[in-house]
Structure 1
Amino acid sequence: MPKFDSQPLSRRTVLGAGAALAVSATVTGCSNAGRGGTSGSNDSAAKAKVRPAYVRYDGVKADLPGEPYGIPDGFLRYPADPVQAITEPPGDGKPIEVMTSTNTPIPPSLPQNAFWQQFNERVGSPVRLNLTPSVDYSQKFATAVAGGTLGDLFSIGNIPQKPQMLAAKAVDLTPHLSGDNIKKYPYLANLPETSWNAAIFDGKIYGVPIPRGAISSEVLYARKDILDAQGLPAELKSADDFVQLCKALTDKRKNRFALADLPTGFVRNMFGIANSWKEADGKLVSGFEDPAQQEALALVQQLWKSGYVHPEAFTSQNQDRKTRFGNGTGPLVVATFSGWPTYLQTMDEEAEIAIIPPPAHDGSGDGHTWLGAPTLSVTAVSKSAEDRVETMLAYLNYLAAPFGTSEYLFRKYGIKGIDYQVRDGDPVLTKKGFSETQLALQYQADGPWAIFLPERKGSTEACFNAMKEICPKALANPVDGLYSETSSRKGAQINRDITTVSEDIIQGRKKVSDWAPAVKKWKSAGGDKIAEELNAELKSSR
């Protein structure tokens, strides 16, 4: 097992992080942009030696238990008298400086944000946020590392020399969190065991994971109300059915394009392409190498040429596709289950969401959704805050307070009467609340996801049932939680290069036959080395 020394990091190494922080490029063999994830390094024995104890929180009973299906619990009502989980403010009166990314609009500043003001009071320390859109976070992070301005807490994804970087810049949390030590922070102890793999390097715990898993699986959202109005079914039996659905939904006179964004991942699901990697004959094989990739790209190219995809799909931002879905100009969109609440925010009261599972492209049965990674990212404590490490962990423990507690209610919904209203006994965000509460708290620390969608009657059941149908048979990435140094150094670039080729094929600038040489180049530029390193990690983890 390799040792990761706390050696100095060169500015070139740090700035070489590139886009690796913004996406899970370390272990992706297919396009999983938008799916977060980090990587751990050690064999299973070393991780088991320091892994925090797991103590499940059972303070509230789920209406829709997810445990038999490997999905989050579902809740139809918020407890009328939520439990106060934390009796003392976690802060020490001094500022807590946090650097993290966000996928939502930047919230109003502290003087104009009543939620943020009350949040600081409840924490017992002024929380200062350095928020950066996720697409720009990698460069911002690299600059902060080089300039020594990481703050007290920082989010970390995939960067070159990640183990060395953590050893140099982050506090070793092993004495505080390993084994039963974590019981001092009961809501961190409630995090799934597998999520901690992303935070353990060389037998040391270097951060607190943000758990996700099945909830971050990408699926095809559909505007059920629009489908119903046109007499169209929210189910598919083949790729031909998908094309016909897109044709029926597209109406350029209404400025409507069936697809709010590119459906490349969904199409790959129809062709049974692996979730990044698959094991074959004792080796790891990238999903890029699947011969079905060319058929999948040809189909997406057909959808693009036919005008069924929004024409700004290649240039727009994440929020744009949500807007298109919400206003009906893009009634189909690929997104994660976790995005359901924000998609509801974009829709009128009468609008409905349905999830369409991928069929096998040839009509022979079901396709294969890709299961979301166990961990979104990791929050580390900077060595500059080492003398306040217990305060930092208490703060993260506060943010991880689970569903059913008064802390969760406040963190997710803000101030009653200002940020949320009570509707049929449940909290529902107001427009002001949706704006004020976007402090990226869920990207600093979070408890296990809960399916609770009071914004729209029936939404909780719809989301739970869709996950129950899709996730138990979804394809996992066999190397989730494993680390490849070559991927951290080169993965972002070589994946970006091959993604450019796929986009050129879809737009007709290249031929489908250009895919095979692009894969060959990807393999020689680092793909084969990544496979070799990840395969070695995979074998040592068993």
Structure 2
Amino acid sequence: MSSGLSRRSVLQAAGIGTALAATGFSLTACSSGKTGGDVGSAGKSLAPFPTYVPWTMGPTPDLPATDKGVQAGYKKYPGNLVEAVPEKPGDGSKITIWFSSWNTTPLPRGKNQFLKAIEEALGVELDITVIPAMEYDKKLTSLMASGEMPDLLQIVPAANESQFVLARCQELTDFISGDNIKKYPNLANIPTYAWTTAGRFAGKLFGVPIERPIVGHQHIVNQEKFKAAGLLVPEVGGIGVDEFTEGLQQLTGKGKFAIGAETGGAFGFNAWMPHFGTPNLWSVKDGAFVNYLETDEFQAGLEQMVRWQQAGIFRSDALTIDGQQAKTEFLGQKVYSRVNSTIDYVNVAKQLKGQFTVDIALPFKPSNGASPTHWLGGGTYGNGYTVVKKAPKARIELLLRVMNALAAPFGSKEWELFNYGVENVHFKRNAGGDPVPTELALSGGDGPDSLPIKYIAAAPVPLYVAGQPEAVQRQYDFQQKVIPIGVRSAELGLRANAWTESARGLEKQREDAMKDIITGRKKLSDWPKVIEEFKRKGGAKAAEALAKEHEAAQKA
């Protein structure tokens, strides 16, 4: 989607070129690839996070949001959409953008009606590179090393990303901190938890978060099967783990599996561990940072997952299954549950054609005597954020106005455009007034799915499933029960070189170790060696550095 390919060969040589070359842009040279130094905030003045100002012009939700993070629920689509961006934000200039996509390759500029519509709404020319999500980490790392920088860049956690941001991206403190954000009311509508997860860099603000439901991962189930096995109970801890396991065994056999698992995610551990009272990733005890790997609760959860694998509840070839196959098998009822996000729950509900009812199982009562909890997410897409290329003040304000428009809330005309496209082209309305995507938008490479501009800026995600008010109610009820017992990781929003430099490697070490033990390649008795390796490879230094950052943040 580029107006020029004059530097394509340079980018390909740097490893940045993509199979989506038709959607690429000509990057503009920025500063050299130097690092940003100490990214931590300890000992520095801390910029205030943006003031939260909820949007009040839109429809009243059928199910109200809570200040703890329960999503607002809408059982039907708003009938009267309002205008959230009264003036076009752009000045006709070109904006270069990078973001990822999980979906169909977009049609090129001359054939892409969605691109034309959003350019008209924004008042700018968009020069966009869309990169397959599975390649984004690699391409982003190459970009950061190349000395290149688009105007707007989606950041996902990657090695040295914090140093890159500090060295090469625009500091936004004077533009968005505190009440400054009120100049951009749709960005001010983003809840504080998302801003705190995007965090500070050396005490300053650089990133604009892409909000996502804070409830995090959950055990998404086939309601009919789980109800028949007695596994759906009305309250947290309403069923013991042994009874829960018996029900899972009833559902397993003859080529069917109670719990779906795949190559990523370590058998859905982030749903099971909190049932045993395991703290979320990093917790603080007497001022010290403790990683969940070090806790007895984590080992108790791991032991239960080993039992499930030995009983055949997880398929023996789970680590050969990719994400798409895992979802297909859930929809096709080869597996009866999966661990994933609220976004996945909504997408499954939309894709089902009456085969079964999608639901969520509440945490069971563990065998170790702990009180079950629930791990909350960071409240952003992949704990990521959007950064801005360094530029004069007027240019930064333009880019922020564009992001403000993209963050138009649910119930606005702009939200409908950015999320559904153009009526009678990308969607049509059903008898109930819900937007229904056309084949062009679903698989034709023209529409919000293939060109997900929402990965640059977005409104808080509404809890809405077209034509399925019951699915909305089930998810809302689940959130009301688990968010009050939910725990966030203490490291969210904190930055320390010792952690940013080792986090990805430690994550892989943990995942590999869990897979080895669950599949029987190693023994549970080897777990203390895993903890020792974690500390030796950077975990101990990360804990010390994060503790200092946490102490500094508490003084803000």
Deviation per CA, 1:187-218: give whole Å up to 9, x if none.
11212234323243234321212223524x11
Counterpart CA distance in 1 for 2:100 and 2:457 is 12
Structure 1 counterpart SS, 2:378: coil
Q: How does 1:385-464 map to 2 (within 5 A)?
A: 388-423=395-430, 424-435=432-443, 436-438=447-449, 439-464=451-476
2:489 equivalent to 1:477: yes
Deviation per CA, 1:22-73: give whole Å up to 9, x if none.
xxxxxxxxxxxxxxxxx984369933x4433332211122221122553121
Structure 2 counterpart SS, 1:117: helix
Counterpart CA distance in 2 for 1:508 and 1:518 is 15
Deviation per CA, 1:2-25: give whole Å up to 9, x if none.
xxxxxxxxxxxx99xxxxxxxxxx
Residue of 366, 379, 383 corresponding to 1:374:
379
2:371 equivalent to 1:353: no
Residue of 245, 248, 251 corresponding to 1:249:
251
The one-letter amino acid paired with 2:403 is: L
Deviation per CA, 1:116-154: give whole Å up to 9, x if none.
332232222232332233333221111112223332111
Deviation per CA, 1:432-491: give whole Å up to 9, x if none.
434432223332111222211124341111111111111111122122211121121112
Which piece of structure 1 moves more, 418-427 or 329-338?
A: 418-427
Structure 1 counterpart SS, 2:209: strand
Deviation at 1:166, TM superposition (A): 1.7
Unaligned stretches of 5+ residues in structure 1: 1-13, 16-38
Other-structure match for 1:84: 83
Report sequence identity in percent.
Answer: 27
Deviation at 1:380, TM superposition (A): 0.6
Contact 1:40/1:482, CA 8 A, preserved across alignment: no
Contact 2:240/2:367, CA 8 A, preserved across alignment: yes
- In structure 2, relative to structure 1, the CA distance for the partners of 1:528 and 1:231 (3 Å cut) is closer
Q: TM-score by structure 1 length?
A: 0.85
Counterpart CA distance in 1 for 2:336 and 2:107 is 30
Residue of 283, 292, 302 corresponding to 2:307:
302
- In structure 2, relative to structure 1, the CA distance for the partners of 1:44 and 1:370 (3 Å cut) is farther
- In structure 2, relative to structure 1, the CA distance for the partners of 1:426 and 1:395 (3 Å cut) is same
Which piece of structure 1 moves more, 182-191 or 126-135?
A: 126-135
Other-structure match for 2:18: none
- In structure 2, relative to structure 1, the CA distance for the partners of 1:58 and 1:459 (3 Å cut) is same
Deviation at 1:378, TM superposition (A): 1.3
- In structure 2, relative to structure 1, the CA distance for the partners of 1:62 and 1:130 (3 Å cut) is same
Contact 1:222/1:234, CA 8 A, preserved across alignment: no
Deviation at 1:358, TM superposition (A): 1.4
Counterpart CA distance in 2 for 1:57 and 1:45 is 33
Other-structure match for 2:334: 329
Other-structure match for 1:316: 321
Contact 1:498/1:519, CA 8 A, preserved across alignment: no
Structure 2 counterpart SS, 1:129: strand
Q: How does 1:50-69 map to 2 (within 5 A)?
A: 50-60=48-58, 61-67=60-66, 69=68
Which piece of structure 1 moves more, 319-328 or 267-276?
A: 319-328
Deviation at 1:512, TM superposition (A): 1.0
- In structure 2, relative to structure 1, the CA distance for the partners of 1:303 and 1:104 (3 Å cut) is farther
Q: How does 1:448-527 map to 2 (within 5 A)?
A: 448-527=460-539
**Count of paired positions:** 501
The one-letter amino acid paired with 1:520 is: E
Counterpart CA distance in 2 for 1:44 and 1:349 is 58
The one-letter amino acid paired with 2:489 is: N
Contact 2:229/2:250, CA 8 A, preserved across alignment: no
2:211 equivalent to 1:204: no
- In structure 2, relative to structure 1, the CA distance for the partners of 1:479 and 1:419 (3 Å cut) is same
Which piece of structure 1 moves more, 109-118 or 119-128?
A: 109-118
Other-structure match for 1:177: 176
Contact 2:199/2:493, CA 8 A, preserved across alignment: no
Contact 1:99/1:150, CA 8 A, preserved across alignment: no
Other-structure match for 2:33: none
2:536 equivalent to 1:538: no
Which piece of structure 1 moves more, 63-72 or 76-85?
A: 63-72
Deviation at 1:248, TM superposition (A): 2.0
Other-structure match for 1:271: 276
Deviation at 1:301, TM superposition (A): 2.3
Counterpart CA distance in 1 for 2:109 and 2:249 is 47
- In structure 2, relative to structure 1, the CA distance for the partners of 1:71 and 1:89 (3 Å cut) is same
Contact 1:69/1:468, CA 8 A, preserved across alignment: no
Unaligned stretches of 5+ residues in structure 2: 1-13, 16-37, 262-266
Which piece of structure 1 moves more, 306-315 or 259-268?
A: 306-315
- In structure 2, relative to structure 1, the CA distance for the partners of 1:225 and 1:126 (3 Å cut) is farther
- In structure 2, relative to structure 1, the CA distance for the partners of 1:328 and 1:363 (3 Å cut) is farther
The one-letter amino acid paired with 1:355 is: I
- In structure 2, relative to structure 1, the CA distance for the partners of 1:365 and 1:280 (3 Å cut) is closer
Counterpart CA distance in 1 for 2:42 and 2:439 is 47
Structure 2 counterpart SS, 1:89: coil
Contact 2:221/2:337, CA 8 A, preserved across alignment: yes
Counterpart CA distance in 1 for 2:541 and 2:163 is 20
Deviation at 1:315, TM superposition (A): 3.2
Counterpart CA distance in 2 for 1:310 and 1:385 is 56
Other-structure match for 1:8: none
- In structure 2, relative to structure 1, the CA distance for the partners of 1:476 and 1:412 (3 Å cut) is same
Deviation at 1:360, TM superposition (A): 2.2
Deviation at 1:500, TM superposition (A): 0.8
- In structure 2, relative to structure 1, the CA distance for the partners of 1:362 and 1:105 (3 Å cut) is farther
- In structure 2, relative to structure 1, the CA distance for the partners of 1:289 and 1:143 (3 Å cut) is same
Contact 1:199/1:209, CA 8 A, preserved across alignment: no
Q: TM-score by structure 2 length?
A: 0.83
Structure 1 counterpart SS, 2:320: coil
Counterpart CA distance in 2 for 1:300 and 1:379 is 37
